[in-house]
Structure 1
Amino acid sequence: MQWSSQSCRAHVFAAPGLEGTTAKVYCLDDMLEPDEMQRLASMEEEPATCFITPQEPHVFNIRCFNTTQEIRLCGHGLLASARVVLEQTGSSSVTFQTCSDSVKARYDTKNDSIEIAFAPLHSASVSPPKWLKECFSTLPLQVAQAGPTDGYWVMQWPQGTLQNLQVDAEKLSMNTQRALIATEAATDDIYDYYFRYFAPQHGVIEDKATGSAQRVLISYWSEILNQCNVKARQYSKEGAELLGRVEDQDVWISGNVDIER
């Protein structure tokens, strides 16, 4: 296996008219101390800075940080890292060991793209919490939770609401440790659904492009739409396009990844 220390910047989830987001990727021989990785991530000022080291053939350790803390599971950082590692090693598939999960990555020859697989994270409907009126300009239609107490809220709004939805990030962070995935059914023929992502409790007031949210949304919308393949637009200021599908026991996430050398 070929491996050399290097660093590069990647643009992820961009599409015509949509900027997507960015990540800095460091390929290293040995993993740095967490304090040093956090220091570098703060200096880079990227939505994600990823550090990769080889563990064994086709298996790599990866740690991802934003400017203030470690990201347990960073979808766009993993996609960017997968592109770098697959190109450098000449492999068709690799596995990343994150601080919380094992993530498969592979080159999809059919669609000429990179994709990563997560175990699905299903959501369950719950009663709306009392603080909704404090946080949102419009109330959602449906409310669900996914993951542990610091996992996700999945809230579905009426069509045509999401783009102009006002979210009070300070009050949201005061009332819950869960990140908010706000979503609605698409109103065009290009996408299946739209979403926005807010995690002020974790240093992200509103994210540009959130691959990890797709881990929840692919399962959520596949059941509603009764289809395995989905296409989503993230309604951040920058905008992003994300693809996903359900295959066997995994949810696969992909999108455009361009490396800036």
Structure 2
Amino acid sequence: MRLPLYQLDAFADRPFTGNPAAVVPLARWLPDATLQAIALENNLAETAFLVRRDGGADGGAAGGADGAVEYDLRWFTPAIEVDLCGHATLASAAAVQRWLAPGAATVRFHTRSGALTVTGDGRDGGLLTMDFPALPPKPLDAAAATAVAEALGQQPEAVLAADKALAVLADEASVLAARPDLRRLAALPHDGLIVSAPGRNHDFVSRFFAPHAGIDEDPVTGSAHCVLAPYWAGRLGKTALSARQVSARGGELALELKGARVAISGRVAPYLEGVIELPVTAA
């Protein structure tokens, strides 16, 4: 069995920056064990698998009533399947527009987190915008906040959580200098830890650590900004925000809080096009 494989750098305007994601289109779902094995073999933060569901066939134009192409979408880290992933959704939309359904201006993905719509033109590095849920964080109780501070190795100005924990630090230098205890982080009852602060050239900066999912530090994390956007919008008194994730690779995001949703925009740089060879028994 041969499966197409695309690798793209999300939240990046050129290769070797942003967050790399693998995108694997399927004609039908394969066993979960096979999907997880492919993700482990790819050894990227996320591998996205998608199956077209709007009655169209890949290689053709859009088929939905509003001109959208529609896919079921799932995301796997090397260790687990996750409920929401931003950078691999952005990469999937760019792959659809570039290779699978050229000319589609709207791509709609059906996921564990509901319908996620991506608009824009990502074929040649244009800006793509994802419609994601906003997840406002709430302050943690004293014991939970202490556990986060101990794992981080410093006392944050504030500790909050939605699905992910959020530690707010004083400044960008503190975020860059953070060296959390990954073993302790993995034991926390949260979907990873975001560390964030006001930015020097952006409204805010962040880093994200998810050792429980097999990702010590994620280069650029769209889903973390579902938590960060409502927090910083409230703190800064503005709904349009500029953000940078200050990992080693780094990535730029533009955000707009729209009530219970957040628009997350970024660019995608294609890197690799290939084929996966699987034994028939893997199907």
2:9–2:15 CA contact under 8 A, matched in 1: no
Within the candidate set 22, 32, 43, 1:24 is matched to 22
Q: How far apart in 1 are the matches of 2:252 and 2:235?
A: 20
Output the amino acid matched with 1:209: V
1:132 shift after superposition: 4.0
TM-score for the superposition, normalised by structure 1:
0.88
Pair 1:138-2:150 in alignment: no
Secondary structure of the structure 1 residue equivalent to 2:24: strand
In the alignment, is the contact (CA less than 8 A) between 2:73 and 2:109 conserved in 1?
A: yes
Distance 1:218 1:93, change over 3 A: same
Q: 2:109 aligns with which of 82, 88, 96?
A: 96
Cα RMSD (Å): 2.2
Q: Distance in 2 between matches of 1:53 and 1:9?
A: 17
| Count of residues in Structure 1 that have an aligned counterpart in Structure 2 | 250
Percent identity, please: 27
Distance 1:23 1:175, change over 3 A: closer
Mapped pair 1:218 → 2:232 = no
> Deviations for 1:220-260, whole angstroms, at most 9, x for unmatched residues?
11111111211111122222222211235420112120123
**TM-score, structure 2 normalization:** 0.81
Q: 1:130 to 1:249 in 2, by over 3 A?
A: closer
Which residues in structure 2 correspond to 1:110-259 (within 5 Å)? 112-128=126-142, 129-146=145-162, 151-159=163-171, 160-186=173-199, 188=200, 190-247=201-258, 249-259=260-270
Question: 1:74–1:133: structure 2 CA closer, same or farther, 3 Å change rule?
Answer: closer
Query: CA–CA distance in 1 between the matches of 2:234 and 2:170?
Result: 18
Which consecutive unaligned segments of at least 5 residues does structure 1 have? none
CA distance in 2, matches of 1:253, 1:86: 18
Match of 2:216, SS? coil
